[in-house]
Amino acid sequence: MIDKIKSLETLSRQLEPNPALRSEWNRQVQAYADQFIDRLPDAKGYENMDRVSDWTRNCPIGEEGRDMEELLQILDREVDNVGLNPASGAHLGYIPGGGVFPTALGDYLAAVSNRYAGIYFANPGAVQLENQLIRWMCDMVGYPAESLGNLSSGGSIANLVAITTARDHLGIKPRLVESAVIYLTVQVHHCVHKALRIAGLADAVIRNVPLDHHFRMDAAALRSQVEQDKAAGLRPFLVVASAGTTDTGAMDPLDAIADVAEEHGLWFHVDAAYGGFFILLDELKPLFFRNFEIRQRGHRSAQGSVSFLRTGGGVDQKRAGSIRISLLQGKLHAGRAGHGRRAQSGRPIARADQAFPGPSHVDGAPVVWVGAFPGLPGGKEAIGLIFL
């Protein structure tokens, strides 16, 4: 047994490069990153669109090692010179954006140390860092001190978390699904429909609320539809609005929708993926802010959620925060994480305590590294732009 462990240890040591090799790899990777960034001013927005080489088709993953130089050449040829280049100034057609260098460094360090941020006792510093980030996001939208949130892997999961929270908060049990009504528009991102299916709500009544001529939800039509549905004995429970639709960037009238939601006890979810961080820009704040402020004006019954998405991390391209006023958190998503339950008791809540833990290393780190910009002008406005 001991001999077996020793031989496995020798094998696994191959995954641990010695200091000389590590610095050589660091040098090569950094040189690659530098040349990628340096050639951006001339980079096309879309290149070699149909090029799929034999190499990528067969993707030979084997047990023979390749040296770093060859791997970087493959990356350059097969990935970084094919298809959309979101980092190029010529790229305007689709939502994904380019990377932000300091966040890539944050991602790199978080991946190197790989500290576990899922539960508090495992790494209080990492959890506090993430919790501070979520607090900042909650404050940004005017959510109260008891609001909660979590970082997930992207907008789809953030929406799923919010929809599941709405379902559980309003007690939509399987036997009630067929009479439950959900309001959205044809402009919601398709992941909302996926999330509804995964959340067991495929058989609910889905109302596509009419749009105005700017592709925004017509709040008056929403109100009359909710009233009709209630009169027909149905159970309206959720309205999903978009704070920046994917196709046109249209902002649904959040204030007017929030009024209907409050009046009729609906959960109000705002999918603010990409568009949400425009709230950091003073000239755009009015598009959002009164809606979120509603919750500070003392409407304690307010219930809702907002999901954000940012791009620009280094290793993982996107991450999302889903934040919500979650009045019944203890009941949702099984409460505390199973592992280490005793060690955690009485300690601050962390990612694995709620919803899906998502990637376990420190997701907050890339954001904190934005602070690495020397003398970054404009404070939060600049951060708002960086998030975009």
Ligand X SMILES: Cc1ncc(COP(=O)(O)O)c(C=O)c1O
HEC secondary structure over 265-332: CCEEEEEEECHHHHHHCCCCHHHCHHHHHHHHCCCCCCCEEEEEEEECCCCCCEEEEEEEECCCHHHH
Give yes or no for residue 166 binding ligand X (CB under 6 A).
Answer: no
For residue 351, the minimal CB distance to ligand X (Å) is: 17
Q: How far is Cα 205 from Cα 287, in angstroms, rounded to an integer? A: 29
Give yes or no for residue 383 binding ligand X (CB under 6 A).
Answer: no
- Total of chain residues touching ligand X, rule CB under 6 A: 14
Structure-block tokens of residue 250 = 């249209």
For residue 7, the minimal CB distance to ligand X (Å) is: 43
Within 8 A by CB and 6+ apart from 27, the residues are none
List 169, 189, 207, 361, residue binding ligand X (CB under 6 A): 189
> Segment 292-351, which members bind ligand X (CB under 6 A)?
309, 318, 320
Give yes or no for residue 122 binding ligand X (CB under 6 A).
Answer: no
**CB atoms < 10 A from the CB of 254, how many?**
26
CA distances from 60 to 11, 55, 343 (A): 22, 7, 44
Give the residue closest to ligand X by C-beta: 155
Give yes or no for residue 95 binding ligand X (CB under 6 A).
Answer: yes
User: 319 by DSSP, 3-state: which?
Assistant: strand
Give yes or no for residue 274 binding ligand X (CB under 6 A).
Answer: yes
- Which segment (98-106, 266-274, 359-367, 375-383) binds ligand X by CB under 6 A? 266-274
Residue type, 58: N
Annotate each residue in 203-232 with x if it binds ligand X (CB under 6 A) or - if it does not, as one string.
Answer: ------------------------------
- Which segment (76-84, 130-138, 268-276, 373-381) binds ligand X by CB under 6 A? 268-276
Nearest alpha-carbon partner for 282 in 144, 207, 384: 384
DSSP 8-state code for residue 210:
P
Give yes or no for residue 271 binding ligand X (CB under 6 A).
Answer: yes
Binding site for ligand X (CB under 6 A): 95, 154-156, 189, 191, 242, 246, 271, 273-274, 309, 318, 320
